[in-house]
Amino acid sequence: MSNSKVVLKSLLFSAFLFAVPQAAHSAPTGTWLSQPQIRYHASSNTLTEAMAKIKHQKYKVVFLDYRNVPDEVQKRVSQAARDNQLKPVVWIQSPQLRSLTVSQLIHEARHTDGLQVDDHYFKHYSSKDFAELRSTYAKPIYCSIQPFQAKQLPTQGCHQIDVQCYTPNTFRRCMGLADRLNAVTSLATKRTFQYRQKLGNRKFNVFLWPHTNDFFNRTRQAKPQKNVKSVLGVTSLMLSEAAVSAVIPTDFR
């Protein structure tokens, strides 16, 4: 066979490879750590390891429930995130129950690089409240909604929007809404995380980060009776996750 024919066949084969469609892969964006998870990792000295694992799983943002978490612990958690090239963002849970004002919402984010307001905020606060928050707070604001709240989203001011797609039987419709809003699709660990392979090239969040109990199981096997605080922390975590699971079926969290 002449050299020219060999070269031609090689070029045709290369062209064929480039023409074959490549499988689209979804991309992790953010994940949430609840207050019990934070307390557990802080008390068991696994903060750095947990953040490294979150980064290894290609997340970029970690949403943090800092309610009643001491300032020093907040600083440690946020710094552990930054040290692993993650952006720490405070997740402001149910601000209406504490009647948080704009200045108080901003104070909640004093140790982070952004704040997140979720479906509870958009249910109980007005567009005027959000505009005041946006004009006062200089860092990114992440907006998380339930599917039926699309019309309550502000027209501008959200650094990133995510739609909570937590119910299997409405999952496809929820993905479509996220696409229309140019939003991230948020998955629930125990209900829709299993469908992440169906996301194509969409970005996704995961509520909550599903691997804290892996740390606890390992710690329990290595030190069966030494870390009482960690045991109490994960007991609280399990109760918290059970409470979340009880409300997720109706797209509430």
The pLDDT tens digits of the residues spanning 192-206 come to 999 999 999 999 999
Given the DSSP bridges, would you call strands 141-145 and 203-207 parallel, antiparallel or unpaired? unpaired
| 205 neighbors 31 (Cβ within 8 angstroms) | yes
Which amino acid is residue 56, in one-letter code?
H
pLDDT at res. 19:
41
**Mean pLDDT over residues 75-90, rounded?**
98
Question: How many Cα atoms within 13 Å fall on the side-chain side of residue 79?
Answer: 7
pLDDT of residue 217: 82
SS (H, E, C) 172-237: HHHHHHHHHCCCEEEEECCCCHHHHHHHCCCEEEEECCCCHHHHHHHHHHHCCCCCHHHHHHHHHH
Q: pLDDT band at 241, cuts 50/70/90?
A: low
Q: What average pLDDT score do residues 168-193 get? A: 97
Rounded to a whole number, what is the distance in angstroms from the first to the last CA of the chain? Answer: 68
- Mean pLDDT throughout 214-228? 67
> What is the reported pLDDT for 216?
81
Indicate the pLDDT class of residue 236, thresholds 50, 70 and 90.
Answer: low
Q: How confident is the model at residue 25 (pLDDT cuts 50, 70, 90)?
A: confident
Per-residue confidence band for 14, with pLDDT thresholds at 50, 70 and 90: very low
- Structure-token pair, residue 13: 């084969």
* pLDDT over threshold 70, residue 232: no
On the question of pLDDT at 189 being above 70, the answer is yes
CATH tag, 25-250: 3.20.20.70
Spell out the residues 6+ positions from residue 115 whose beta carbon is closer than 8 angstroms to its own: 89, 90, 92, 105, 106, 108, 109, 137, 139, 140, 141, 142
Percent of the chain with pLDDT over 90: 72
Q: How confident is the model at residue 15 (pLDDT cuts 50, 70, 90)?
A: very low
Is residue 88 predicted with pLDDT exceeding 50?
yes
pLDDT of 4 > 70? The answer is no
Q: Using CB atoms within 10 A of its CB, is residue 94 exposed (0-12), middle (13-18) or buried (19+)?
A: middle
User: Does residue 24 surpass a pLDDT of 70?
Assistant: no
